[in-house]
Amino acid sequence: MHGRYFHSTPNATATERWLAARMNDMASAVAATGWTVPIAFANWPTTDPLRHPNEPNPHEDLVGVDANHVLPTASWPGGTFASYHVYPYYPDFLQYQPSLQHSVFDGHHDPYAAYVRALQHHHQGVMPVMISEFGVPSSLGSAHPGTLGRGQGDHTEKQAMRMDAQMLREMPNLGMAGAFIFEWTDYAPIPVTSRPAARDGWRQLELVMDKPWWLPVTHRHTAMEFSNVGLGSLGRWPG
């Protein structure tokens, strides 16, 4: 695919060619207003261009999408960047991949930082890399463990902010062009009835999966559904 503003490389997959076409459409609309800005697509570790043979769930490393195959033309000086949402508790290869376990950052072994650095190495010389989502929630329970104790929940607000600050401070040293903590304020939780069942060690609990990541506390005058979890059991989750 070769558009006026974006094109795919010869070794691009069908998905990457489609992304190049959509980014070209977006660039065309922006160019019509007289502007040029960086345009990118968001990616996750589950579809990164790296291989993770130690991922216990093969579906979490089934395909890869490579931003290096979707490039701007000379007509789009705003350029592009590789955008990833990277959390320290997902996917599980962060805990099992040997190449990530022995890198030392800030005085300790940090698989999360090692993975972020691996992404930077892959795109080095082609485009900058931004971590467009990262962070840990301060929910009452934990849905899944993470590296260095950075699980999906079961942190106090101070603990969560300390972990977020530590990861944010690492980003410049890892070669990132920028990073965004998820998230600044609250959003509506996903109804329990719309969520998939617990699987592969992930816990299906209200007050765990979707809240709270936010920094400022937002109060809402809406009913909170506690699912089947009694108030008396919220101090410490079993198991």
Specify if 1 maps to a domain: no
Specify if 191 maps to a domain: yes
Please give the Cα distance from 93 to 69 (Å, whole number): 24
pLDDT of residue 200: 57
Give pLDDT tens digits for 157-208. 899 999 999 999 999 999 999 999 987 655 444 444 444 555 555 554 444 4
* Contact in structure between 86 and 93 (CB atoms under 8 Å): no
Specify if 157 maps to a domain: yes
Model confidence at 239: pLDDT above 60: no
Specify if 80 maps to a domain: yes
Average pLDDT for residues 142-167, to the nearest whole number?
Answer: 90
Q: What is the 3-state secondary structure (H, E, C) of the chain?
A: CECCCEEECCCCCHHHHHHHHHHHHHHHHHHCCCCCCCCCCEECHHHCCCCCCCCCCHHHHCCCCCHHHEEECCCCCCCCCEEEECECCECCHHHHCHHHHCCEECCEECHHHHHHHHHHHHHCCCCCEEEEEECCCCCCCECCCCHHHCCCECCCHHHHHHHHHHHHHHHHHCCCCEEEECCCCCCCCCCHHHCCCCECCECCCCCCCCCCCCCCCCCCCCCCCCCCCCHHHCCCCCC
Specify if 239 maps to a domain: no
Specify if 238 maps to a domain: no
Specify if 116 maps to a domain: yes
Q: How confident is the model at residue 215 (pLDDT cuts 50, 70, 90)?
A: low
Average pLDDT for residues 208-217, to the nearest whole number?
Answer: 50
Give pLDDT tens digits for 68-101. 999 999 999 999 999 999 999 999 999 999 999 9
Higher-confidence residue of 13 and 233: namely 13
Specify if 147 maps to a domain: yes
Lowest mean pLDDT among 61-75, 106-120, 193-207, 220-234: 220-234
Owning domain of residue 225:
6-233
Q: How many independent structural domains does the chain possess?
A: 1
Question: Please, is 122 exposed, middle or buried when counting C-beta atoms within 10 Å of its C-beta (0-12, 13-18, 19+)?
Answer: middle
Q: How confident is the model at residue 144 (pLDDT cuts 50, 70, 90)?
A: confident
Q: Which single residue is written with the structure tokens 């590789």?
A: 82
